Structure formats: C-alpha cells, structure tokens
Chain A
Amino acid sequence: MASKQQILEAIRRQSVAPVEHPGVEGPWITYDDAPAQFAAALESVGGLCHFVADLPAVNAALAEIPEFSAAQRIYSSVPEIGGANVDMASIDNPHALDDVDFAVFSGEVAVAENAAVWVTDEHVRHKVVYFLSQHLALVVRRSQLVDNMRQAFEKIEFRAGRFGVFISGPSKTADIEQSLVVGAHGARSLHVFVVE
C-alpha cells in the first residue's frame, strides 16, 4: 500500500494543466450498404460472410463447408444449429475441450467498418472454445449490424466476470518475414452468418 500512496503522491505533485475530455461523438463513417461493406471487410481479413434468411438456412450453409463436414467434435451455443456433439455444461475442466474441431457461437454486434463481431461468455461456460476450436462460425442478426465502432459500443455493456471480445477474421500472424499465415494460435477459419 505504501507504493500506491507514493505513486499517487508523485503524480499529484506534478502540475498538469487541465484538459477537457473531448467526447466520442462523430460524425463517424456510415455506409450506404453496410452488409456489403461488412462482407468485404471480412474477406479482407481472411473470413467469409454468408447472408441467410433464417437459422435453418445456416444449417444448410454449414453443411457446404468442408471443415464443418469433416469435423468430429462440434460445439454450438446456438440451439438450432445441428450436428453439435460437445456438451460444454457437463465439462468441468476447459482443458478437456482441446479437441473441438468446429464451434458455432452467436454474436451480439457486427461492425461494418472492420468486420469485428462482438461475442461474450454469457451462456458459454468455457470461453476457451472461442480460441481453441480449429474452426469458428459466428451467427449474427442483420438488425445487429452497425456501421462503426462508436455505434457498436453503444450496444455493449460490461458486467463483473463477463468476458467479451471483438473477433475480426480468423487468427493470423505475419511474424515470419511479413508473410501472412492464417491460423496462428486461434481459429484457422472464420465464417460469419448474417441472418435476416
């Protein structure tokens, strides 16, 4: 505690002229065709966007994805998505989830400017699956698609113990000679389903 007092005193001893917080209101960028912008942004970061009419259509589209068809262990946080065979609720130790091949989650907000999708660990007992699963699909409602990050933060709330992450594309690295390699530590592919 002595350190805390010393640091705070050292800071307060410095005289720094006041500066107003400027606020975060725009005008910020908006798009005539936000879904098209989202899809283009997602493609540019290595992901794939599918526009579908309803949840059954997600199932049909998933069946077309080779990584999904080949997957042995599938987790889904969306009850309507078929084929899931990993029951997270019955697993106490997150380490036991290291063999998940494909995971499907629902996203809360999708951002057109950067293809980010906001997901949380609400109703997801082990958030590690977001990162441990070999392949990932996120399902988000068309009504949850916004233009920019300012609008996204208007929709987001933070609560104790709640983890949330913007995911934009599959995991990647360019640490070897700046060559892009998709699939660093996290998901090796990412599909986003925008449901009407």
Chain B
Amino acid sequence: MSHSGVDHPRLAAEFVKNDSRAHWHDQALWFVRAKRDKAAQSLPEWETLRERASQIKRNVSANLADYLEEFEANATKMGATVHWARDAAEHNQIVLGLLERHNAKRVVKSKSMLTEECHLNPFLERHGLNVVDTDLGEWIVQLRNEPPSHIVLPAIHIKKEEVGELFHRKIGTDSGASDPTYLARAARKRLREEFLAADAGITGVNFAIAETGGIVVCTNEGNADLGTSLPKLHIACMGIEKLIPRADDLSVFLRLLARSATGQPITTYSSHFHGPREGCEMHIVLVDNGRSNILGSDEFRRSLNCIRCGACMNTCPVFRRSGGHSYKTAVPGPIGSILAPSRDAQQYASLPFACSLCGSCSDVCPVKIDLHHQLLTWRREITVRGHLPWTKRVSMKMARIVLVRPAIYRMAGFLLRKVVLRMPRALLYNPWNAWGKSRDLPPPPKQTFRQIYQQRHGK
C-alpha cells in the first residue's frame, strides 16, 4: 500500500481478472472447507479438543524458554544435535554448514513453511547445492519457479492441464496428458530417483516434544519418510513455537490437525523421530526469527499457537477469491496477515485490510486463535503508525469530520442524494473510488432515515 509495500488490492485484482479461474479456485477451497466441517462434526468432543489445544499452546507460550531447554536436553540424549538460530540468515548458514561438512550435493526436502520463510532453497542453490522439494504440490511450484500459494495445498492455484504441460516439458510425460493419476505416477517415478540419489534430507517439524526430545512430522505422501530413511543426514528445521510439553499432548493435536487441514481423520503418516538411525546424524535447528518478539505482545501472542493447518485460508472469502500469491508472504491468508506485519508492518500494511471481518477463520481455527480480532487490532496499529496509504487516510479523516457533526452529516447526505448520484458515471467512478471499482452505488432512497423517523413519531 505504501509505495514499496505489498499491494494486496492490486494483486487480488489481477487474480480476479480471470473470472472463471477465480471461481474455480474459490470452489476448490470451499470443497476442502466442507470436508473439514464433516470431519469436525464426526467428533462430539470437537470443541473440547480445540479448547484443550488452545490452552496447551498458551501453556507453551508461558513457559517457552523452559520447554526449549528441556527439549534440547532430551533431544541430545536421544542422539540428535540441536542448533539455535536467531534469524533466517543464521538458520540458512547452519543448514549450509551441515551440508558442506557432510559433503552433500543433492538434498531432498519435504514440506517446511519455515524454510520457505527463510528462503532456504535459493540460498542453498546459490551455494551450488541441488535442492528438490518432494511434496508433489511443492515440486510442481518449484518446477514453475514460483512459491507455494497455500501452506497445505501448495499448487491449489494450478490447473491439471498446466501441470501436464509442465511435466511434458520437464520430465517428458505425454504431450496433452492431464490425468492426475498419470501425472502423479510420473512424478513418483522421477522423485524416487531423487530420494535414492540424495545425500541429505531436510524436513519441517509439526510438533517437538519437550518431555521426550522427539519431533513429529506429518505427511500424506510419505516423502518426509523416504527423505530421511535413505540418506545419512537428516536436518529438521522448526520455529521455536512448535514445542509441545508432552508426548500425550499429541493425542489432542494429531486429532485436530488433519481434520482441520483436509478433512482426513489423520494424515497418512505421522512420523515420530527420536534421534538418528544407527550410523546416521540428525540435526534440529530451532529458529526464532521474530517469534520471541510476538511472544511479548498481549494482542498478538496467540498467533504463535498456529499449527499451520490452513483451515483459515480455505474458509476465508478474501483468500479464496484473491489467491495465495496476492499476499506475497510464505504464510498467506488470515494467519499470514497477522504474522507478516509482525515482521514488517510497513511492508505488509495492506494485508490486515484484506479481510471482511466475517470471523469465519476464528470459527474454524483448531487452536482457537482470535484471528479476526487480531486483524482488526493490526488495522488500528497500522493507522497509528502512519502506514495507511493517503487515499484511505484522507477518506477516514473526512468520514470523521462528517460523522461527528450532525449539520455537516445532514448536508453531506443531501448532496449525495441530490447531486453526487446524478453526476455522470465517469466522474463518479473515478480512479479514487475504490469501492465502486466492481460495484454500483445503490439508487438513493426517496426519504432519509431522519424524515421517516419524524413522520412516524410526529415532532
């Protein structure tokens, strides 16, 4: 919105220009949302589970330093090595150092939003490493040279014909073939070669258990498991908020995660790593990158509860109609619009406004983050800090002047009804009228509210 920042309205406008694609995207995500509803309704204790998950996560926030130390001690006992990174650059450096020490050239990665946040892939590629994202959706967007558009469904914005065309060019599938089974099989064959040739596997972490020093990784495809059970080096990268106190807590979180994400009762694979395989090494990189700052904010602390299920994106009317890329941040959608301004309020000032405040995100969030309240709070913050674009600033000032002065308010209403709405279209729907870009003003009412009120109640 500011000149250098992310201009969500403009990027969203580009997305909706292709009307049929925008509708298709909207429908695809709504379909996932509907599956989530069905899965949630299959458990009478759903709301209790959400409440527990939320409280466990808040307990983690209140004791994070202790849990991290406990985790490090136990993970070390299990035979893993724990590393600490203050920011993205330090994280990338640690990973590169480990790979270089092992003389690794080929790396297979499974999904990790943290490494997206840190831009690990381009960093490693700049240092001559071959990095392959092995989640099918992530591999598709990697081959297209673009970031994922969704944290759980990275290629949700791409049509099967486009995947077919891409695979034809990159891995020689039949020209014109777009059958998802055929394409997925071709990818399976090709990525098996990558797994077998890999020198190291990098994974994300869904949960890290303080009490046992273990980590849990959830996938449907089995790529995290193939990537860590063939090469001798496993590097797991995680934000410090991924901690949970005890292994038993998983009985709450594993019940919520997949049901919220895709409507499955649990992911196909929920893998629990406690130390490396025999003769191998396992390294866990704990990354702060702004999280300890968020922890200090009473308003935004609970955004650290997020377990990255993506449900708030699937349900968000703005996300569904504007696409994940319009947010220009590794984690898009409602939660992304809270996390991104925490890192850089000026750069991401437009994101908290990409919201209708409908509250649907807060309703589906498995860890009960008060998403729409936080978005509203961010709007106020951004206004106070002066990051609003001048069109919005001026119009808000004007509105205030008018709304607090009854005489001016009445006059403005009169002008609107009698003069403005009779102005020629070109003048009315000018470039500054953002509201009117894809909407028409309604016809003016014959009487004002004040007139009707006075008629009904006499004088």
B221 and A171 contact, CB distance less than 8 A: yes
From B153, B159, B274, name the one whose CB has the most chain A CB atoms within 10 angstroms. B274
B59 and A161 contact, CB distance less than 8 A: no
- Across-interface contacts of B276 in A (CB, < 8 A): 161
A95 to B220, CA, bound (A): 22
Contacts A19-B58, A131-B225, A187-B222; is A172 near B28 (CB within 8 Å)?
no
Residue of chain B at shortest CB distance from A26: B45
Residue of chain A at shortest CB distance from B156: A178
A44 to B246, CA, bound (A): 30
**CB < 8 Å: which of B32, B43, B222 contacts A131?**
B222
A11 and B295 contact, CB distance less than 8 A: yes
A45 to B58, CA, bound (A): 33
Mark contacts of A5-26 with chain B using CB atoms, 8 A cut-off: 1 yes-contact digit, 0 otherwise. Answer: 0111011111111111110101
From A16, A41, A131, A167, name the one whose CB has the most chain B CB atoms within 10 angstroms. A131
A132 to B68, CA, bound (A): 34
B222 and A161 contact, CB distance less than 8 A: no
B188 and A177 contact, CB distance less than 8 A: no
B288 and A10 contact, CB distance less than 8 A: yes
Contacts A24-B251, A153-B247, A184-B184; is A158 near B221 (CB within 8 Å)?
no
Q: Is the C-beta of B264 less than 8 angstroms from some C-beta in chain A?
A: yes
Number of A-B contacts (CB under 8 A): 247
Q: Is the C-beta of A101 less than 8 angstroms from some C-beta in chain B?
A: no
Q: Is the C-beta of B90 less than 8 angstroms from some C-beta in chain A?
A: yes
- Across-interface contacts of B163 in A (CB, < 8 A): 176-177
Chain B residues within 8 Å of chain A by Cβ, number: 94
A158 and B214 contact, CB distance less than 8 A: yes
Contacts A172-B221, A186-B269; is A14 near B262 (CB within 8 Å)?
no
A149 and B251 contact, CB distance less than 8 A: yes
Is chain A's interface secondary structure helix, strand, loop, or mixed overall? Answer: loop
**CB < 8 Å: which of A10, A11, A161 contacts B277?**
A161
Give the shortest distance, in Å, between A69 (CB) and chain B (any CB): 22
Q: Is the C-beta of B202 less than 8 angstroms from some C-beta in chain A?
A: no
B268 and A171 contact, CB distance less than 8 A: yes
From A26, A114, A167, name the one whose CB has the most chain B CB atoms within 10 angstroms. A114
Give the shortest distance, in Å, between B404 (CB) and chain A (any CB): 37
B274 and A163 contact, CB distance less than 8 A: yes
A160 and B275 contact, CB distance less than 8 A: yes
Q: Which of B129-137, B321-329, B447-455 forms part of the interface with chain A?
A: B129-137
Give the shortest distance, in Å, between A152 (CB) and chain B (any CB): 7
Q: Which of A54-62, A81-89, A122-130, A137-145 forms part of the interface with chain B?
A: A122-130
From B223, B251, B275, B295, name the one whose CB has the most chain A CB atoms within 10 angstroms. B251
- Cβ < 8 Å to B, chain A residues 100-159: 111, 113-116, 121, 126-128, 130-132, 148-150, 152-153, 156, 158-159
A117 to B154, CA, bound (A): 28
A168 and B265 contact, CB distance less than 8 A: yes
